[in-house]
Amino acid sequence: MKRIVSLMIAVLFAVSAFCFFPAAHTGAETFDPNSVYEPYYILSNAETPTVSYRGLEREADKQVYPASTTKILTCIVALENGNPDDMVTVSANAVNFGRGNSLMGLEEGDQFSLRDLLYGMMLPSGNDAAIAIAEHIAGSTEAYAEKMNEKAAQIGMTHSHFVTVHGKQNDNHYTTVRDMALLTAYALNKSPKSEEFRKIVKTGIYTTTSGPREIRLVNSNRMIVDTPATETLPNPISCLYADAIGIKTGDTTKAGKCLIAAAERDGVTLIAVLYGGTIGDPEYNDGWNDAQKDRYNVKRFNDAAALFDYAYADMVHTVRFGDLVEKGLENTFEITIPNASAEDSQGGVLKAYTDISMDQMISVMQPDPKAKVTDLKIDANYLFTVQYAPIGEGSVVGSVAYVYNGKTLASGNLIAERSVKEGTAQTDITPVGNDSSGNNSSPITGNLIGDANAPSLNPDDVKPIAESGGCGLPENMRWVPIVLAIVFVLLIVCVVLFILYLRAEAKRRRAAARRRARQRARESGQYTDRR
């Protein structure tokens, strides 16, 4: 019984320690690079695309064939040099493809808008659309390839050379996965046409809006949309990824199965370039049916998802709200009450503090693993909704939200530190805060961590703690109440076991005392057996 009670108490303390003292870093600690199937890959942050995240890369500078991922460069050159509303006439050369080619479905003489052709090139990977686009903008595919190489050099792709506009096999058409990560980051964030590019590559299904007929286009990126079922593949494996924002697949015999994928979460954009799937794989068999091949087709998508999941989990850190306050994050705000009594000892200046607990744990996505969480640039967006007397001490006078990279980390009410009596009557009541809505705004100055220029606050986005994830906890710590409940149950069990132990021990001692009394009676000759 003693051992049982001791064990239960040890478990109780272990669970309690886990609950009340969470680790400052909650992300994954390791990732096995050998789990990535493709022989050439890199995972990077779009802010620093040529630097692999925690060294996750393999043969990143080896020259390889890019297959249809070439069309990322074809697309961005077209967006920067053409007008999406231009009508393009499809030539005979653009439709001169045999079986085994990925096509949009164009016919000679068709007229489609450049916009429709861009979707046709990027979603189903139409080689016919790529030729039509190139001829429209540059007059020929050769002249367009020159524009592609000029753009590649401008971006800094020093180990790449492009010959075709669609990526069909050519030994002089090559790149590296590091160069393609650089290109993808440019297309997503730095091109003057990044917004249009993002819209195209994130689209799952698109129907043309110009031309002689409607063409339904389905994205070949299975992280964006599930591949349609067919007679030969009735149950394709789903690879959907909620944070995926593109980009492009590729597949040729020499290039293997390729994928450039991108994901975005809490303002952090990650890029995964994976090339060469199935090349040299002794287990892969071209004679397999579609269902057998599908297990290999999805490896690139699953690998990209695994890389993204690891990196995002690794980037999540937790910190006490109180630690941020100690580092300078403002949690008390001032407002001057215009109709305060003339006898007010502080001249109508009212301070209000946030009711967010100093012990509340805040989860932060921090892309730089070397940076300190307490040094992050967190913005405090506040709004006074009550600014005229009479105001009672402890009353709610406004709200505040702490924001990092566009995500609200914590939010709460502003509580008046003291009461303010009414003096001269006022009728012009407008909220005051650091929002930019034109409502008599008053910006925060001086006490923020990092930049003091906080973004605008939408009052509808500010919620009391009770609405922001339960019990005043961040969303990823909603398990804490469950753990507390388990701790409470274990505590009750320990108490019950301990009481049972004490009762059993008392009974044992009473029995032992009776035995000792009888033994003494026998020894003195005063004990009589009554049986």
Domains of the chain in sequence order:
33-315 (3.40.710.10), 327-478 (no CATH)
Tokens of 40: 């050439």
How far is 480 from 502, CA to CA, in rounded Å?
33
Residue 199 known to be catalytic = no
With beta carbons less than 8 A apart as the criterion, state whether 121 and 130 touch.
yes
Residue 68 known to be catalytic = yes
Tokens of 132: 């039509």
Tokens of 514: 């009776």
Output the pLDDT for position 195: 98
Residue from 52, 125, 160, 411 carrying the catalytic annotation: 125
Tokens of 104: 């949009």
Output the pLDDT for position 501: 79
Output the pLDDT for position 162: 98
How far is 260 from 75, CA to CA, in rounded Å?
14
Q: Which residues contact 269 (CB under 8 A, 6 or more apart)?
A: 45, 46, 47, 185, 188, 189, 245, 262, 263
Helices (H), 26-171: 71-81, 114-122, 127-138, 141-155
Per residue of the chain (531 residues), what is the pLDDT tens digit?
Answer: 555 555 555 555 444 444 433 334 444 457 899 999 999 999 999 999 999 999 999 999 999 999 999 999 999 999 999 999 999 999 999 999 988 899 999 999 999 999 999 999 999 999 999 999 999 999 999 999 999 999 999 999 999 999 999 999 999 999 999 999 999 999 999 999 999 999 999 999 999 999 999 999 999 999 999 998 999 999 999 999 999 999 999 999 999 999 999 999 988 999 999 999 999 899 999 899 999 999 999 999 999 999 999 999 999 888 899 999 998 999 999 999 999 999 999 999 999 999 999 999 988 887 876 777 767 788 999 999 998 999 999 999 999 999 987 889 999 999 999 999 998 655 455 566 765 333 333 333 323 333 333 333 333 433 333 333 333 344 444 455 676 778 778 888 878 887 887 888 888 888 777 777 777 777 666 555 444
Residue from 44, 52, 71, 363 carrying the catalytic annotation: 71
Tokens of 190: 């730095």
How far is 427 from 70, CA to CA, in rounded Å?
65
Residue from 68, 102, 113, 191 carrying the catalytic annotation: 68
With beta carbons less than 8 A apart as the criterion, state whether 205 and 219 touch.
yes
pTM over 0.75: no
With beta carbons less than 8 A apart as the criterion, state whether 363 and 316 touch.
yes
Tokens of 293: 């091949």
With beta carbons less than 8 A apart as the criterion, state whether 208 and 119 touch.
yes
Residue 442 known to be catalytic = no
* 426-454 as b/e: b if 16+ CB within 10 A: eeeeebbbbbeeeeebbebeeebbeebeb
What are the Cα distances from residue 422, in Å, to 344, 396, 462? 9, 17, 28
